[in-house]
Amino acid sequence: MQKVSARIALSLCLLAVLFGACRRDLRSAQGVVEEFVDQHYVRINLQKAKEYSVGIALEKINDEIRLTSGQVIDATTRKPGVHYRLLEKKEGERRASFLYEGTIRAEDAPEFKRRWLIAARKEADQWRVSNFTEYE
């Protein structure tokens, strides 16, 4: 019985370590930028993306919210499948930029790719997305 309990305890500890390792570090520029990309492009949750934005990025998100007001995006909305990968990063002490390539798959449409250049800056010891641009 003690061996079973020890195995269960060990398994739970390993799961906790693995779960903790999979979480994004929102204290880092890359962690904040990837959370923004997930919210903005993958989940299409502009309100959540707004939480990670300042400056021009915040203005762009507010414009997108205004332009899409009245359009319901919920669990029944057919959202495209979006996957992305990091192509390039430049990190400084207070500024960083990241270039991602996104692959978008929508029902009844051919797959296409976009590139997203995301700039971040550190304000009051917190990283925020300060600008983002999309390219074909």
The overall pTM is greater than 0.95: no
- Specify the fold of 26-135: Nuclear Transport Factor 2; Chain: A, (3.10.450)
Tokens of 62: 């507010």
**Listed residue (24, 55, 63) closest to 119, CA to CA:** 55
pLDDT of the residue at 60: 99
pLDDT-based confidence at residue 17 (cuts at 50, 70, 90): very low
Whether 55 has a pLDDT exceeding 90, the answer reads yes
pLDDT of the residue at 79: 84
pLDDT-based confidence at residue 24 (cuts at 50, 70, 90): confident
Q: Are 30 and 119 in contact, with CB atoms under 8 Å apart? A: no
pLDDT-based confidence at residue 21 (cuts at 50, 70, 90): very low
Residue 120 vs residues 11, 21, 73, 110: alpha-carbon distances, Å: 38, 23, 27, 32
Q: In the chain, where does DSSP find H-type helix?
A: 2-22, 29-37, 46-50, 55-68
Q: Are 122 and 95 in contact, with CB atoms under 8 Å apart? A: yes
Q: Where is pLDDT greater, at 6 or 36?
A: 36
DSSP state of 123: E
- Residue 21: helix, strand or coil by DSSP? helix
